[in-house]
Amino acid sequence: MKKKTKIILIIVGMLVLASSIFFAVSYKVAQNPKNVIKNEVGNNQKYTPIEDVPFDYNFADMVEDKCYIVMPPNIVYHIKELNNFIENVNRGISDEIMIIEYTKEEQPILTNLKYIDNKFILKVDNRRDGYAKEEDKKIITKEYDANKYELVKSDIQKKISNITTYYQLDLKSKEADETITICNYADVKKLENERFKIVFNKDESIDKSLILGRDETNKYDYDIYSYKGTVDIIINEEKISLRDALINDKITVEEILEKANKDAREDKTIFGSVYLDGGSSFYIYDDYEILKCHKLSSIGKWNPGYKDLYIGVPSMVTSSVLDPNSAKLTITMGNVWGEEKKTVTLNDEDTSALYQIIQFLEFKKETCDGLSNYYISLNSETENNLEQYGLETYESAYHITAKNQGEAILSEEQRNIVKQIINKYFN
C-alpha cells in the first residue's frame, strides 16, 4: 500500500471515530436535557449542612454566608442568590440555596433546597421556633424527582408591604394538584439608566474608615465613612473614589440619599427603612448598605455628631455602627377636634409601620388648605424639637402634610395601614 493511501485511510478512520463520539454524546444529552451542565454541589457544599449549623446562628453570619433572608414586614437580603439558584435549576445546573425566614415572633426557620442529580432535596429546620410544638422542633428532609416537580414563582401575590411585593416560591407537581411552598419570594425590580452607581469593595481588614470629614468641607455637618471596605463610584462611565467625587462636586450626599429613597419607594432596592433612635435610615442593596444616622443625644437635641453617613457591608446595621437598643423614637398622634386633645404613644410595630410610610413619601405642593385631624410628632419628649406632620383624613383620601415640604397623598395600601393604626388608638 502506498504511503499516501495509508495517510488518507488514517484520516478517514479518525473522522469516523470522532463522528461516533459526537453522535453518542449528542444522543445522551438529548435523552437527559436537564443535565447538560453540571456543577457538583454534593462534594463542594456552598453552605454548612443544615444539621451542623450552630443553634445560635446569628443574623450577621447569615448575611455573610449569603443566605436568602426574609424578615417581616419587608426586609429581604440576597435576592440575587435566590434568583441565581432558580436560573441554575432552569438550566439543569446543580446548585443549592439556604433560606432563612423569620416568624412574626422573630424566630428563624432554616430551609436548605438543593438541586442535584435531577432531584430536589428539601431540608427544613424548625428547631429554633420557640412557639412551635415540641414534636415539630426537628429537621424534616424530603426528596422530589425533578421530572415530576418544577420550581415556580406563584402568580398570586402573597403579601404586600409599602416597600416590597411578596409572592410564593413553590415546588409544584406536574402530575397532580400538589404544591410545596418553599419561601416568600420578593419581586425586586432592577435599576436602569442610572446616572451613577456605587461600587463597594469589601475588605474585612478595614474597620471604620473616614471618607470625608466635616472639617474638610462646609457642605456637610457630619462625617462620611466606609465600613469593612472602600467605596468607589461610577459616573459618566468613569470610576473614581467616592471621596474624589464628593470633593470635586461630581455628586452630593443628598443625591445619593435621594436616589436611595426613590429606589425604596419604587420597589427597586431590597429594603429601605428607619431605626427608632431618632430617625436613622438605612438602605440595603445586594452588595452594600447605606446608613444615615440621625440619633438623639441624652438631652433630647439633635447632635451633629450623631448624623454621620456610613456605606458598608450588608448587616452593618446589626453591628456596632448603630445600636438598635439606643433611645427609642416615639410617635404621638393628637386629635385636634373637640376641647380636649387625646395624645397616645404608638407601640414599636405601629411606630415603624407609620414612620416607614412617612419616610418614603414624595411631598408636593399642597392641593388644598384642609385642616389636620391628627398630628404625627417625632421625639415627643422635647417640645421645641418636634418633627411634626399633619394628617388630613377624608372618606376618599388621606393626606400627610409637612412644614416646608408640602403635601403627600397616600396610596390605598398606605391609607389602609394608617386607618388601622388610627382606629386602634382612637376608637
- Kindly report the three-state secondary structure assignment for every residue of the chain: CCHHHHHHHHHHHHHHHHHHHHHHHHHHHHHCHHHCCCCCCCCCCCCCCHHHCCCCCCHHHHHHCCCEEEECCCEEECHHHHHHHHHHHHCCCCEEEEEEEECCCCCEEEEEEEEECCEEEEEEECCCCCCCCHHHCCEEEEEEECCCEEEEECCCCCEECCCCEEEEEEEEECCCCCEEEEEEEEECCCCCCCCEEEEEEECCCCCEEEEECHHHCCCCCCCEEEECEEEEEEECCEEEEHHHHHHCCCCCHHHHHHHHHHHHHCCCCCEEEECCCCCCEEEECCCCEEEECCCECCCCCECHHHCCEEEECCCHHHCCCCCCCCCCCCEEEEECCCCCCCEEECCHHHHHHHHHHHHCCCCECCCCCCCCCEEEEECCCCHHHCEEEEEEECCCCEEEEECCCEEEECCHHHHHHHHHHHHHHHC
The grid coordinates of residue 47 equal 453552605
Greater pLDDT, 270 or 150 = 150
* Residue in this structure with the C-alpha cell 407601640, named with its chain if needed: 347
Greater pLDDT, 12 or 245 = 245
pLDDT band of residue 294 (cuts 50, 70, 90) is low
Cβ-Cβ contacts under 8 Å for 266 (sequence gap 6 or more): 189
pLDDT on residue 308: 86
pLDDT on residue 266: 61
pLDDT on residue 285: 83
Average pLDDT for 226-233? 93
Q: How far apart are CA 377 and CA 43, in angstroms?
A: 57
Q: pLDDT tens digits, residue range 21-32?
A: 444 434 433 444
Rg over CA atoms, the chain: 28
Asked if residue 234 lies in contact with residue 197, where contact means CB atoms within 8 angstroms, the answer is yes
pLDDT band of residue 342 (cuts 50, 70, 90) is confident
Question: What is the percentage of the chain residues whose pLDDT exceeds 70?
Answer: 66
Question: What is the percentage of the chain residues whose pLDDT exceeds 90?
Answer: 24
Q: What is the mean pLDDT of the chain?
A: 75
The candidate with the shortest Cα–Cα distance to 306, out of 298, 319, 297, 315, is: 297
The candidate with the shortest Cα–Cα distance to 222, out of 258, 246, 245, is: 246
Count CA atoms within 13 Å of residue 344 on its CB side.
14
Does 267 score more than 60 pLDDT? no
pLDDT on residue 260: 83
Average pLDDT for 330-345? 61
Does 104 score more than 60 pLDDT? yes
Buried b (16+ CB within 10 A) or exposed e, 400-411: bbbeeeebbbbe
* Residue in this structure with the C-alpha cell 467605596, named with its chain if needed: 231
pLDDT band of residue 329 (cuts 50, 70, 90) is very low
Neighbours of 173 (CB within 10 A): 15
Does 47 score more than 60 pLDDT? yes
Does 416 score more than 50 pLDDT? yes
Q: Find which of 162-166, 322-326, 400-404 is predicted with most confidence, using mean pLDDT.
A: 400-404
pLDDT on residue 14: 52
Does 60 score more than 80 pLDDT? no
Buried b (16+ CB within 10 A) or exposed e, 11-50: eeeeeeeeeeeeeeeeeeeeeeeebeeeeebeeeebbeeb
Q: How far apart are CA 316 and CA 42, in angstroms?
A: 32
pLDDT on residue 352: 67
Average pLDDT for 300-311? 62
Does 324 score more than 50 pLDDT? no
Average pLDDT for 113-136? 90
Greater pLDDT, 242 or 39 = 242
The grid coordinates of residue 247 equal 470633593
Average pLDDT for 268-284? 60
Does 38 score more than 90 pLDDT? no
With both helix axes pointing from N to C terminus, report the angle between 348-359 and 412-426 in degrees, rounded to the nearest 10: 150
- Quote the pTM value: 0.50
Greater pLDDT, 195 or 421 = 421
Average pLDDT for 241-267? 84
pLDDT on residue 134: 85
Q: pLDDT tens digits, residue range 173-209?
A: 999 889 999 998 876 554 445 678 899 999 988 888 9
Q: pLDDT tens digits, residue range 352-362?
A: 677 767 766 77
Asked if residue 153 lies in contact with residue 169, where contact means CB atoms within 8 angstroms, the answer is yes
